[in-house]
Amino acid sequence: MSVPSFASTSFSLQFTSLFVFFILSRTFCLATHANTTRPPRQLSLNYYAKSCPQLEQLVASVTSQQFKQSPVSAPATIRLLFHDCFVGGCDASILIASKGGRKELTEKDAEDNRDLKVEGFETVRKAKEVVEKKCPGVVSCADILVIAARDYVHLAGGPYYAVKKGRWDGKISTASRVASNIPRANSTVDQLIKLFNSKGLTTRDLVALSGAHTIGFAHCKNFVVRLYSYRGKGQPDPDMDPKLLHALRMYCPNFGGNSDIVAPFDATTPFLFDHAYYGNLQQKMGLLASDQALAFDPRTKPIVLEFAKDNHNFFQAFVAAMDKLSLINVVRGARHGEKRRDCSMHM
């Protein structure tokens, strides 16, 4: 049996020492790096408990006043949140204004967003101003939009629910991302389910969130084809109640007409957040083709029937779906996000 020489033993010890030193040094560096680049805090209900404890009251002071002065602020802000979250996530990118001289427009100026009511944008702008005076540079525009939308649901008669906070504002806003991520007024149920599923939302979430159409209005261009030549056949949509058809034709001619004319999504209780929308669908009184289709498709019809019968079930499902909606691709931390002082401008 051979005995190792002193020289080989010394080399082995030196190699082992160097290896251990390397491992310890790398571990120390990784630990130090981890401490200096801590992951952003998770979203939570009490995210601003110390940094801006009055946040929800500050936003409420604006939403309550806006609702009194202009009730359309409610559906406008809820729709604004939906359009924000479905395009790149809930990061307030919908609020960024396009800059003159640049070829690429922002989300706000995309064709599909040009009908968004100014009252929604004004709500966030005013709330941000109030919050900045008390808590400068702390609260994101994205969180303010989520809180304001919740406030309006409740002010219009819907459920009050707690919202998670801690979003940062996104650094990207381009019009080109919008078209493929927003439902159409004539979308089929297949198209709707596919789109909602791509955002992590279920068929039940789809039907519940569609219930936001219990308040709000649509321009004639979004449903006029149903009145005169549905699917290019020269006849009105047979799945529209005749009385509703007659009433809508009085305000929305086939050609010409006032482009500012709007009709309520819910003809029975247009200013009340309730489950009447689903009862209307059962009576063929849905305004948009995409809404009415929910009452006939076997995947969505049972859910429509359930919500039409039970307002509590609708509210419960709506709250759950809004929570999931508000968590789509949220931005966290300065590496990917920002905290805008002016919601319409990047930092």
Instruction: Tell whether 260 is in a known binding site.
Output: no
pLDDT at site 39: 57
**Segment 14-70, tens digit of pLDDT:** 434 433 333 334 443 434 344 334 556 689 999 999 999 999 999 999 999 999 999
Instruction: Tell whether 213 is in a known binding site.
Output: yes
Say if residue 99's pLDDT is above 60: yes
Considering only 30-44, 57-71, 156-170, 193-207, which range has the smallest mean pLDDT? 30-44
**Segment 332-344, tens digit of pLDDT:** 999 999 999 999 9
SS3 content of the chain, % helix, strand, coil (to 5): 55, 5, 40
**Segment 283-295, tens digit of pLDDT:** 999 999 999 999 9
Mean pLDDT for all residues in the chain: 90
Query: Average pLDDT for residues 209-236, to the nearest whole number?
Result: 96
Please spell the DSSP secondary structure of 183-221, one letter per residue.
--TT--HHHHHHHHHHTT--HHHHHHHHGGGGS-EEEGG
Integer angstrom CA distances of residue 283 from 88, 187, 231, 241, 271: 36, 20, 21, 7, 19
Instruction: Tell whether 151 is in a known binding site.
Output: no
For the chain, what percent of residues have pLDDT higher than 90? 83
- Report H helices in 41-140: 55-69, 73-86, 118-134
Instruction: Tell whether 51 is in a known binding site.
Output: no
Instruction: Tell whether 269 is in a known binding site.
Output: yes
Binned at pLDDT 50, 70 and 90, residue 100 comes out as confident
33: annotated active-site residue: no
Kindly name the residue from 33, 83, 219, 336 that is annotated as catalytic: 83
Query: Average pLDDT for residues 66-95, to the nearest whole number?
Result: 98
pTM summary value: 0.88
pLDDT at site 19: 37
Domains, in order of start, for the chain? 54-177 (1.10.520.10), 201-325 (1.10.420.10)
Considering only 29-33, 90-94, 175-179, 336-340, which range has the smallest mean pLDDT? 29-33
Please spell the DSSP secondary structure of 296-314, one letter per residue.
TSTTTHHHHHHHHH-HHHH
